[in-house]
Amino acid sequence: MSITGIKGMNDILPGDIETWQYLEAQARKIFGAFGYREIRVPVVEKTELFCRSIGETTDIVEKEMYTFSDKGGTSMTLRPEGTAPVMRSFIQHKLYAQDPVSKLYYIGPMFRHERPQKGRYRQFHQIGAEVIGIDDPKIDAQVLAMLSHYFESVAIPDVSLQINSLGCPECRPGYRQALSDFLETRQDLLCADCQRRYTTNPLRALDCKVPGCKEATSEAPDMLAHLCSGCDDHFSQVKAYLDNLEVVYTVNPRMVRGLDYYTKTTFEMVTNSLGSQNAVAAGGRYDGLISDLGGPALPGIGFAMGLERLALMLGEEELVPPRPELFIATLGIAATKAGFNLLTRLQRQGILAEMEYTGKSLKAQLRRADKLNTRRVLILGEDELARGTAQLRYMDESHQEEVTLESIEARLLKEIHDA
């Protein structure tokens, strides 16, 4: 029996990859204009990094990590997200010593052992962005403006931005206590997970998808009503800057996020078109994370978008593969050699050119040229070769002319440039 891939881990095939490349290229372009530079970190980290940052009582750390011991006995984990590894790298390489402000982005695979379904996979890909070193609400608004701009520029339909504030170490404990006290009165309505966690991580109950928990928490106390004056003021300013920048959003006081490092502003870009996997992008501020991981006390804010979800929303239809500019069809050994040299010369110039490599008949070569939907075919036989010429056929115009082999390169470059 042949070997198949792993459940929930997908191949991205030609035909689909063009959408991915487009989404990635737009991110590089837009993030670059906002001053972000790329960072690449390993896909495996010490397990402790994720336990300390994402939080021991989160779904990710409790149930979803791909964790194993390497041959030296160190516990390692395939990264379930990108923020913690980027912060680890930032601290380790003392990037703050070069510049007090860092804007970083990353693109790559993440791993979570979730139940696979449409829009939810075990290996998935994120495009993420992080700003370190600025706690001013202007940057919260700018991060959201960049995210919204990205969605507009790639023309992803039907998304809306929801924002919330989760407070800080000063005001969150009071809210947690109030929420925990509230949940205690409805304990018997909660699912097993929420019953277990309502004292250790009561906020998770607000995000639980189980209908009983939704019902039990419908009148739960509101985080926004418990913000301290500093957080309240920060959130008001974020909203004012967003209004100023004409970024459309709604406030969702029940949004809690599934990772523990967040403080103050949190947000999700949500859609109705992906069933229960409604978050296409998500993030927030994490002002305590860098110091919790042993770095300086610097604030941070960022987000990650799910590439699979973005690609799904851009539509199912395959993008048409690029058309070759030229197909070289040859007759005879000498012409084939000359054609092969010409092919490589053109490819080195960046011209998409093709030929048939295995010595097929002229008819078979032309069939292949048709299949590839090439724009032009160059027919090169022994006689033409002796004269230093070939027949150049324009497929869309059914027009053919004799050209010199010497001129073909410059001619194609000019035609492609003028097109």
Binding site for ligand HAM (CB under 6 A): 81-83, 112, 114, 119-121, 124, 126, 128, 130, 258-259, 279-284, 302-306, 308-309
- What whole-number distance in Å separates Cα of residue 125 and Cα of residue 255? 23
| Closest by CA position to 125, among listed 258, 267, 20 | 20
Residue whose CB is less far from ligand HAM, 306 or 324: 306
Residue whose CB is less far from ligand HAM, 193 or 287: 287
Q: From the CB of 301, what's the least distance to ligand HAM, in Å? A: 7
3-state helix, strand, coil in the chain (%, to 5): 40, 20, 40
Residue whose CB is less far from ligand HAM, 55 or 128: 128
Beta bridge partners of 117: 120
Q: From the CB of 332, what's the least distance to ligand HAM, in Å? A: 54
Residue whose CB is less far from ligand HAM, 55 or 306: 306
Q: From the CB of 299, what's the least distance to ligand HAM, in Å? A: 12
Q: Which helix (H) or strand (E) holds 267?
A: strand 263-271
Residue whose CB is less far from ligand HAM, 186 or 285: 285
Q: From the CB of 317, what's the least distance to ligand HAM, in Å? A: 21
| Closest by CA position to 307, among listed 276, 281, 273 | 281
Q: From the CB of 201, what's the least distance to ligand HAM, in Å? A: 15
Residue whose CB is less far from ligand HAM, 284 or 324: 284
- What whole-number distance in Å separates Cα of residue 49 and Cα of residue 110? 15
- What whole-number distance in Å separates Cα of residue 267 and Cα of residue 282? 6
- Are 179 and 197 a contacting pair, CB within 8 Å? no
| Closest by CA position to 131, among listed 302, 282, 305 | 302
356 CB burial (10 A radius; 0-12, 13-18, 19+): buried
Residue whose CB is less far from ligand HAM, 241 or 303: 303
* Closest residue to ligand HAM, based on beta-carbon distance: 306
Q: From the CB of 119, what's the least distance to ligand HAM, in Å? A: 6
Q: Given CA atoms 167, 168, 169, 171 in this order, what sign does their dihedral have? A: negative
**Contact partners, residue 356, CB within 8 Å, separation at least 6:** 329, 364, 365, 368
Helices 333-348, 408-418: inter-axial angle, 10-degree rounding: 40
The token pair at 78 is 């395939």
Q: From the CB of 212, what's the least distance to ligand HAM, in Å? A: 24
Residue whose CB is less far from ligand HAM, 81 or 193: 81
Q: From the CB of 68, what's the least distance to ligand HAM, in Å? A: 19
Residue whose CB is less far from ligand HAM, 309 or 376: 309
Beta bridge partners of 263: 285
Q: 117: which DSSP letter?
A: B
Residue whose CB is less far from ligand HAM, 221 or 258: 258
- Are 390 and 405 a contacting pair, CB within 8 Å? yes
Question: Strand, helix or coil at 263?
Answer: strand
> What is the C-alpha R_g of the chain?
28
- What whole-number distance in Å separates Cα of residue 403 and Cα of residue 394? 12
Q: From the CB of 111, what's the least distance to ligand HAM, in Å? A: 9
| Closest by CA position to 322, among listed 29, 27, 22 | 22
